[in-house]
């Protein structure tokens, strides 16, 4: 897969995850909780914007980045999982707690993906880009886990 297509897939992933958080926000009965998912959705758009900058950077120096077929497969798998979660959430075929657990698992997978990509990339600017994405995914996962824990502490 060419660099442009790889980054387009990553950008699509972030946009899908943003949409996923918007759908999850619609499951929330509490306005403050719904707003937290809108913030997460906006964070994913910020990730997309980072990837757009990385894509523009690579158009100038295309020989410095290549993802293995395995990494691309992980991206495609993640995209499929997000799409299924959006569909289940949109159709209300999932509880809020299940959606949160699924979203936390997706964030864990993306964090791991970005960490693996850091190892594969030699360019320092791209390493920083993937470090930032990995750190944000970790924060998102932790925020989701704290929300889930809140369900049990309020019961």
- Give tens-digit pLDDT for 24-37: 999 999 999 999 99
pLDDT score of 91 more than 60: yes
Q: Are 118 and 124 in contact (CB under 8 A)?
A: no
Q: What is the pLDDT of residue 25?
A: 96
Q: Are 132 and 118 in contact (CB under 8 A)?
A: no
If you count DSSP H runs as helices and E runs as strands, how many of each does the chain have, helices first? 5, 0
Domain that holds residue 78: 3-153
CATH code at position 35: 1.20.1260
Q: What is the pTM of this model?
A: 0.88
What does the alpha-carbon distance between residue 80 and residue 127 come to, in Å, rounded to a whole number? 26
Count of domains observed in the chain: 1
Q: What is the pLDDT of residue 3?
A: 74
The residue whose two tokens read 């990385």 is: 54
Q: What is the pLDDT of residue 21?
A: 97
């Amino acid at each position: 897969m060419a660099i442009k297509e790889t980054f387009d897939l990553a950008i699509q992933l972030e946009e899908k995850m943003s949409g996923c958080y918007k759908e999850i926000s619609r499951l929330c009965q509490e306005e403050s909780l719904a707003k937290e998912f809108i913030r997460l959705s906006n964070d994913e758009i910020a990730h997309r914007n980072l990837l757009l900058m990385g894509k523009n950077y690579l158009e100038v120096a295309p020989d410095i980045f290549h993802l293995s077929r395995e990494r691309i497969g992980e991206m495609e798998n993640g995209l499929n999982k997000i799409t299924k979660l959006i569909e289940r959430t949109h159709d209300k075929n999932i509880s809020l707690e299940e959606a949160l657990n699924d979203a936390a698992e997706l964030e864990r997978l993306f964090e791991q993906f970005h960490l693996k990509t850091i190892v594969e990339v030699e360019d320092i600017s791209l390493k920083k880009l993937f470090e930032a994405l990995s750190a944000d995914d970790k924060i998102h996962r932790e925020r989701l886990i704290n929300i889930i824990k809140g369900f049990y502490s309020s019961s």
